[in-house]
Amino acid sequence: MFYLLTSDIDETVSLAETMRPTAAIVRPFMTRCSPRRLDRQAFRFLPLTRTSARSIVTLKDHVYFAKAIAEGSGRIGGVVRSFGDTPLELKTSMPRVAGGKGDAANPEELFSMAYASCFLGSLQLMAARAGQKELSERAKIHAKVFLGHPEDASLEGLGLRIEVGVEGVDDDEIISAAHNSCVYSRALTQGCQVSVVKV
């Protein structure tokens, strides 16, 4: 069975703003959190449990942090580096369909990989808590991040639409619980704290 979750993110800034490496990783092409707008028509295909209304999710502490640095020409011929136990360095490029060479990774690819991995971990955790660990052992998560122009002509720049497909798990409650606990789903539907500072 293949379940599909979709979410639209329609708050955008100018294309020039999107090229800045200071844009929040979990909110590409956005400069501020807007939970109410992000929650509109979110995840239409499953009866997901609503969490209590909050203006934004804030942290009382942190157990881990990831750091990345982007340099060069940004999305077009730039370089992005991560730091940690297993440092990673990737070149970046615009996709061919967007007029680029398509010879390197792009932010949407990286974001979809991160989202899929996180959602799978949440799915496995929720299945284990429900005493059905075996349900998620062969599960696959298909995360698609669509980059495009908003239908609202008054909005400049680009926006995102996200689809998360759950393959191999039929239990709606476990999928719903995974969505509600996945940190990327939570950031997109409930908001996350973003600070932009000079370094």
Which residues have CB under 8 Å from 69's CB, separation 6+?
A: 21, 80, 81, 83
**Closest among 52, 177, 160, 172 to 122, alpha carbons compared:** 177
pLDDT, residue 6, reads: 58
Q: Nearest Cα to 57, choosing from 186, 179, 192? A: 192
Domain boundaries, the chain: 2-58+106-190
For the chain, the 3-state helix, strand and coil shares in percent, each to the nearest 5, are 30, 20, 50
Q: Which of 122, 137, 98 is nearest to 174 (CA)?
A: 122
Structure confidence at residue 100 (pLDDT) = 86
pTM over 0.85: no
* 2-58+106-190 is a CATH 3.40.50.970 domain: no
Q: Where are the alpha helices (DSSP H) in the chain?
A: 15-18, 35-38, 107-129, 172-181, 183-190
Between CA 34 and CA 152, with CA 150 as vertex, the angle to 5 degrees is: 85
Distance CA 57, CA 54 (A): 7
pLDDT of residue 123: 97
Which two structure tokens, joined as six digits, stand for 61? 């502490």
The residues with which 122 forms a beta bridge, in sequence order, are: none
Tokens in use for 142?
């298909």
User: pLDDT by residue for the chain (199 residues), tens digit each?
Assistant: 455 665 554 433 333 333 333 333 333 333 333 333 333 333 334 444 444 455 789 999 999 999 999 999 888 889 999 998 999 999 999 989 888 889 999 999 999 999 999 999 999 999 999 999 998 889 999 999 999 999 999 999 989 999 999 999 999 999 999 999 999 999 999 999 999 999 9
Orientation of helix 107-129 relative to helix 183-190, angle to 10°: 110
- What number of other Cβ atoms are within 10 A of residue 120's Cβ? 18
pLDDT given at position 75: 87
Query: Could you tell me the two tokens for 92?
Result: 């970046």
